[in-house]
Amino acid sequence: MPRRILIVEPTATHRIALKAALVAAHYEVRAVATGQEGIRNLRGDMPDAVIINGCLPDLTIDNFCVATAALGKDVAPPVLAIIDEDTTAARLAVLGGGASTVLLRPIDRGWLLTHLRSLLRCHETRAELRRRIDTAAQFGFSEDPGAFTRPARLAIVGGDSQHRTAMARALRRRSVDEVTLMTPTDAISASEEAERAPEVFLLCPAIDSESTLTLIAELRSRRGARRASIAAQYEPGDRAFAARALDQGVNGVIRSDASPEELNLRILRHIRIKRQTDALRDSVDANLMMAAHDPLTGLFNRRYGMRYLSNLAKQPHSQDRGYGQILMDVDLFKTVNDTHGHAAGDQVLRQIARRLQDNVREGDLLARYGGEEFLVALPDCSIEEARIAAERLRVAICGAPMTLPGGSRIQVTLSIGVACGREAPDALLERADRALYAAKAAGRNRVALADATWPAAGGMTGRVVPLITPRNRVG
């Protein structure tokens, strides 16, 4: 099932054009003419995002956003507002009213879809955390997300000194407590540890836009910045860079000529969403640590993983996509226990768990399935995305030896089976398990896929492709 978008647009021609563009991009679309109709639709079936005219005849945008937030709790859908006049007053009105971002009419289809994809990625991460909290509640654990009181931390990165200093002064004067000016090298260094990393990185325009895109990739690869919010400024005439930055994973783009008031509103939104997401994540940790975690590795346990997969299977999926399972088994693990003892085996399992946790994608769930088996659940993914994720995990384990209690080191590898579909978790797991044993039979330290086709209805079926990635030389 595709993602659901609600359009609130009083002009029929605009409404029809927007709906046609979104349907062509495989979204499920509902279109209404008034704000009140939009709110009634929200009460029935909450969409994944809302596209709204910034000037409705019957309802102000702030009233609409307040109603949306109340119905959506802490994971209300993002609101993308469209305005007819590119003025500071118009932009401030919709952003101050609660819109996630604002676009100017006439709308370029590619520009619209790029922004929509970015908003949906952010929303889905928060919705994913909310699903985990709801799963925990089924075990009898429920703790509401708490509030953050620490000072807001922002880093302004790159750009010329005068531009950075002016922005820092404006933001300090309005709302942001801690503003640090950084070079790209400083930003990468600060992102190595979560305790030092800013909550938000604001990337200034660079003469060479490719260097900014490289910086985005570098920041996202650092543990401390993996969950930071990244905003990139762009010149008004360089939408191509802004679109690439959004698709590469920044949380938002801001025009370089934005007024101080607009810049402040956008940065405050980045901080608010970041803190809401962190609060959801902390709530997940508090609710589930004892009830749903494996005591040896600290990962989710099998019981929680299977309950989570049952919830995941019920979620809507886009065309040619489903949810994925990566099933991993430590090769020849019995030899580790027999040769070095069970204490050594336990230490190896803990090291494997840490490496896997450091390399799973944001939003994926990692569980210890049992013994020396591990499971990753991937929401809304394709089989190719699941394969890439599995290969990254395989390399993370075989790329460096494990340390034993006495200080000696041994090489450890994984055999991995991957399946992607829409069927019940047990059926999908059976296909992943067959693929796992095919990887074992093909020589171990490999990723194998459950071959699949998409039928008109139901789940995926097909034979197992035993060898997808060759075994890397290790040691």
**CB under 8 A, 24+ apart: contacts of 352-361:** 352/297, 352/397, 352/402, 352/412, 352/414, 353/297, 353/298, 353/299, 355/396, 355/397, 356/299, 356/328, 356/393, 356/396, 356/397, 357/299, 358/223, 358/396, 359/392, 359/393, 359/396, 360/389, 360/393, 361/389
| DSSP-based helix, strand, coil % in the chain, nearest 5 | 45, 20, 35
Q: What are phi and psi of 56, to 5 degrees?
A: -85, 150
Q: How many CB atoms lie within 10 A of CB 205?
A: 18
User: Does 372 qualify as catalytic in the annotation?
Assistant: yes
Q: Which two structure tokens, joined as six digits, stand for 139?
A: 């075990």
Q: Which two structure tokens, joined as six digits, stand for 98?
A: 């609660």
Tokens 């101080």 -> residue: 260
Q: Judge contact between 327 and 319, C-beta under 8 A.
A: no
Q: How many CB atoms lie within 10 A of CB 347?
A: 18
Q: Which two structure tokens, joined as six digits, stand for 176?
A: 């942001």
Q: Judge contact between 74 and 133, C-beta under 8 A.
A: no
What's the burial of 200, exposed, middle or buried (CB within 10 Å: 0-12/13-18/19+)?
Answer: buried
What's the burial of 161, exposed, middle or buried (CB within 10 Å: 0-12/13-18/19+)?
Answer: exposed
Give Cα separations from 276 to 100, 122, 127, 213, 273 (angstroms). 14, 11, 11, 26, 5
**Per the residue annotation, which of 362, 372, 423, 430 is the catalytic one?**
372
Q: Which two structure tokens, joined as six digits, stand for 433?
A: 């398990």
**Calpha distance 204→221 (Å, rounded):** 20
**Calpha distance 83→105 (Å, rounded):** 6
Give Cα separations from 188 to 195, 196, 252, 388 (angstroms). 14, 11, 19, 25
Torsion of CA 6, 12, 14, 16, to 10 degrees: 70
Q: Judge contact between 228 and 259, C-beta under 8 A.
A: no
**Calpha distance 28→4 (Å, rounded):** 5
Q: Which residues pair with 370 in a beta bridge?
A: 373
Which residues are identified as catalytic? 372
